[in-house]
Amino acid sequence: MNSRRKMASKKLGENDRGRVKIKTEIKTKTAKGAATKEVRKKRIYRCPQCKYRTDCGRAPLQQHMMTHTGERPYKCQECSYASSQKGRLKQHVSAVHRGEKPYQCDQCSYSASQKGTLKQHVSSVHNKVKPYKCDMCGYSAGFKCNLRQHMITHRGERPYQCDQCPFAANQKVHLTQHIQAKHNGEKPYKCTECDYATGHRSTLTYHLTKHTGKKPFKCEVCGYSTAVKSCLTEHVLIHTGEKPYQCGACEYATVSLTKLKKHMATHTGDRPYKCGHCSYTAIQKGNMKRHILVQHTSVRPFVCVQCGYSTARKGDLKKHVATHKVVVKEEP
């Protein structure tokens, strides 16, 4: 037995000569059953372009190299999504096209398509673990990558530029969604209750509440409820008086990260939304939609029930109704 082991060890050393190795300990058993330790040498595969290294074989290194080459051989058959990893393609198909979310939180109704996403949810929502804090505002995150993404809002950067139009985004995923929805006409997120489809998962989530009528997020102070968690988070700040999102260029502060992003555009001069019919540009997407509706279409969705007056702007209808001396009841 021992002579065989020595021969195997000798062959291993001869075959691996010149390779970069590390030592790892593995347990084996002798003929008598006593546990002993034997040193086995493994080959380390190193990336020639960065510090990545692995001792799990050549395949992980080949997978890693795609992050440098940009190669994405695994392509979705239902949309333009592509990935460098087969597992991620499976997750994409499961989550986006099948709507599967097998990972269920045992503390609330949240479910996720990926185990890692569920772990992030539990850590940040239930355990309140957010060690990464912004030194410019009150934002904190459970993960360093989220903080890095947040810091872009303070700098006003939009590094991801569309090569088909002037649109630019501060996140790569937003650019991908823009291209899919605006240029490729792809709307992979489909409602199971009606024909509605969208290029954004969050938009579909909000749309589904119109069918269910559910507003699971409730304020403990005043009873306010909403279908969107971020809306409740902003609402609660009304009671506390906090304005955690602060501009680094002036004294402006707000309860909403979205509002801070819009405000930052006033400093950078960035107007990413451009009209396809004229030279008009806008800081906000909603302003662009209103511009197109008013200036380039004949749609007048807001109609006075007293005289038939119609307008493209809700605010104009309110002013008009006031001329009838009728109190306009504010929508919740």
Going by the DSSP 8-state scheme, the letter that residue 328 receives in this structure is: P
Q: At what angle do helices 257-268 and 144-155 cross, to 10 degrees?
A: 40
Are 61 and 54 within 8 A, CB to CB? yes
Angle 140-146-151 (CA atoms, 0-180°, nearest 5)? 75
CB-CB neighbours of 31 under 10 Å = 7
Q: pLDDT band for position 169 (50/70/90)? A: confident
* pLDDT, position 5: 44
Out of 33-42, 175-184, 216-225, pick the least confident. Answer: 33-42
Amino acid 40: pLDDT: 53
75 vs 186: which has the higher pLDDT? 75
- Tokens standing for residue 113: 């398509």
Please tell me the pTM assigned to this model.
0.38
Dig out the tokens for 256 from the structure.
């909403």
Find the mean pLDDT for residues 26-52: 61
Tell me which amino acid residue 208 is. Answer: L
Mean pLDDT of the chain: 76
Residue-range domain boundaries for the chain = 17-69, 79-268, 299-332
Angstrom distance (rounded) from CA 209 to CA 230: 15
Domains 79-268 and 299-332 share a fold: yes
Strand partners, 41: 23
Dihedral sign from CA coordinates of 62, 65, 69, 74: positive
Banded model confidence at residue 24, pLDDT cuts 50, 70, 90? very low
Q: What is the pLDDT of residues 112-138, one digit of tens each?
A: 877 877 887 887 778 777 788 887 776
Residue range 299-332, CATH number: 3.30.160
pLDDT tens per residue across span 307-316 = 888 888 888 8
Whats the size of the chain, residue-wise?
Answer: 332
pLDDT at residue number 268? 79
Tell me how far apart the alpha carbons of residues 79 and 173 are, in angstroms, rounded to a whole number: 15
> What CATH number labels 79-268?
3.30.160.60
Whole-number percent of the chain with pLDDT over 70: 84
Average pLDDT over residues 87-94: 82
